[in-house]
């Protein structure tokens, strides 16, 4: 089990930039001598082969396994791993600045999702109802979908969706693109 002490011996973390740097040329305990820690000394961790997992999170190979940098940031700052999930507030999975990370339950994390690539209206919770030729507003509050009504005007449907998301505790960035634009 990796501890805060072992982590701080191996890596340094700048909470303002979110960057981890290799601190030691050889960590005190290392399980894989093929890593060549000497060549990484004082270099950015994760940059040696810019390892990103299948969900887009930056990671580093440390003490015999890949570890997500956003989870290591919590260990580095708080002395323990988060008990649940870590939410990247701005939706950029490689932005590990401390101000961009928050401990979140699965529900809280789901209430701060990027705009889906399958979204055709450009507004979360708004779809065009072809049969009625109107805009339908809805919000997903698991396990149910709350239907907010149909609207002749796209703007009114978006306002209804936004109002319901605010009422039900969705993060203000929910539905934003990765550049931080709100929809």
Displacement of CA 137 from its chain's centroid (Å)? 26
**β pairing state of 126-129 and 85-88:** unpaired
**pTM passes above 0.85:** no
What pLDDT, on the 0 to 100 scale, is given for residue 29?
A: 45
What pLDDT, on the 0 to 100 scale, is given for residue 171?
A: 79
Domains of the chain: 4-108 (3.90.75.20), 111-167 (3.30.730)
What pLDDT, on the 0 to 100 scale, is given for residue 64?
A: 85
Place 175 in a pLDDT band, splitting at 50, 70 and 90.
Answer: confident
Q: Which residue has the tokens 């930056």?
A: 58
Rounded to 10 degrees, the C-alpha dihedral 13/19/22/27 comes to 50
What pLDDT, on the 0 to 100 scale, is given for residue 100?
A: 94
CB count within 10 Å of CB 116 equals 9
Q: Is 103 left (phi over 0), alpha (psi -120 to 50) or beta?
A: beta
As a whole number, mean pLDDT of residues 19-39 equals: 57
Which residues lie across from 60 on neighbouring strands?
67
Dihedral over Cα of 114, 122, 142, 161: its sign: positive
């Amino acid at each position: 089990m990796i501890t805060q002490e072992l982590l701080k011996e191996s890596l340094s973390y700048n909470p303002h930039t979110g960057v981890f740097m290799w601190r030691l040329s050889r960590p005190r305990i290392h399980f894989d001598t093929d890593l060549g820690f000497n060549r990484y000394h004082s270099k950015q961790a994760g940059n040696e082969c810019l390892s990103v997992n299948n969900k887009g999170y930056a990671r580093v190979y440390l003490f015999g396994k890949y570890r997500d940098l956003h989870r290591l940031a919590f260990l580095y700052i708080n002395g323990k791993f988060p008990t649940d999930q870590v939410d990247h507030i701005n939706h950029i999975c490689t932005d590990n600045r401390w101000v961009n990370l928050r401990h979140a339950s699965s529900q809280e994390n789901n209430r701060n999702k990027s705009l889906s690539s399958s979204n055709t209206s450009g507004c979360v919770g708004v779809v065009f109802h072809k049969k009625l030729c109107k805009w339908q507003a809805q919000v997903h509050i698991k396990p149910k979908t709350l239907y907010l009504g149909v609207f002749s005007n796209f703007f009114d449907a978006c306002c209804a969706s936004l109002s319901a998301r605010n009422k039900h505790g969705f993060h203000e960035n929910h539905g934003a693109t990765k550049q931080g634009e709100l929809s």
